[in-house]
Structure 1
């Protein structure tokens, strides 16, 4: 690969302000509308079979689209990290008790806005023909618009997020005359298969609106 070709690869984690966060700092920002591969589910991500099946469907499709974009459009990019929207009938389950069996979720991977419905359909057909993940047909291409949000960086195990979320939800947000509106959003910058739990980096985001 030539130097010019390498330079052409876009890493949206570095290009977009929405993927910037610092440990120990809550920040209010406007998140632009972005396009994602999405798949829904329910239950503890550590034990629910449908969660593992969701990832088995998302990743091959994300990489197939990346290679199609490079081959067909001459536009290369770094596959984005896994993200999740999380919610429950009782939102206290995120900060008190952490009863993950009660959680609903949408797992997502962001894709550039030049990926259209036709490219998505073609890539899904190619993945189905080769690998055929069980939940592939449940993956959709959808735009998410969050608007004004509060976010920060959590470093450590996912199970240690509760105190930081408690501070965000009950102190920073109301203290800044804001209220929570959308779903709790996490962006996983570290791979738990390769990174020690205490070194995992996760952006925690909460959509908000003025009181």
Structure 2
């Protein structure tokens, strides 16, 4: 009997509860396939990084399914920060943007699985950026989040609402802005795309 695919998003459903009004959630630790880069989301390097991340994730999913441990390919997530000295994402130059693209990974995935998989992909002619995909683990603990509906990289209004909410509640942002993309941009018009915007707080 074939095992039911593991749905990593279903395991963190309470963490993904978000509406237009900011709210607090508690975010547990998790493992992610990730890739770091510099530049705005409309930069070609961002698209190349995204392609490399999905190349590894899809190969990992296929291998895991063959091993009897299938899982559902999770939705994309992104972590964003700016170089020291910059505070406004909209005004910062492209080279000041720092991003990490993430896809949740099952707990059974370790470097003993990931590294041979990447080497096989590279030997098969996949782009060198595949080598930069790595495993990271992190948890944000207490965080504030809200749902943005609209173009995924036009979240300024939600970011400002979250900043006001966090300050009003007596907290301060701690760590990188975290965006969770709930909609497939290839299938969903920009004005209907849904994105959770999250900030860890202290």
TM-score above 0.5: yes
List per-residue Cα deviations over 1:169-202 (Å, max 9, x = no partner): 1x21011111101100101111222210011011
Which residue does 1:85 correspond to in 2? 79
Which residue does 1:193 correspond to in 2? 186
The RMSD of aligned alpha carbons is 1.9
* Cα displacement (A) at 1:52: 1.6
Structure 1 gaps of 5+ residues are none
* Cα displacement (A) at 1:69: 1.7
* Cα displacement (A) at 1:93: 2.1
Which residue does 1:161 correspond to in 2? 155
List per-residue Cα deviations over 1:129-182 (Å, max 9, x = no partner): 22422311111111122221111211111243111110101x210111111011
Which residue does 2:17 correspond to in 1? 21
The CA distance in 2 between the partners of 1:18 and 1:98, in whole Å, is 34
1:74-153, aligned counterparts within 5 Å? 74-89=68-83, 90-94=86-90, 97=91, 102-153=96-147
Runs of 4+ in 1 over 6 A off after TM superposition: none
Alignment partner for residue 61 of structure 2, among 52, 66, 71? 66
The CA distance in 2 between the partners of 1:98 and 1:8, in whole Å, is 45
Q: Secondary structure at the match of 2:144?
A: strand
Contact 2:152 2:181 in 1 (8 A): no
Normalising by structure 2, report the TM-score. Answer: 0.90
The CA distance in 1 between the partners of 2:9 and 2:125, in whole Å, is 28
The CA distance in 2 between the partners of 1:59 and 1:133, in whole Å, is 12
Normalising by structure 1, report the TM-score. Answer: 0.86
The CA distance in 1 between the partners of 2:73 and 2:15, in whole Å, is 14
Once the two structures are overlaid, the 10-residue window that deviates more, 155-164 or 35-44, is 155-164
Which residue does 2:38 correspond to in 1? 42
Which residue does 1:184 correspond to in 2? 177
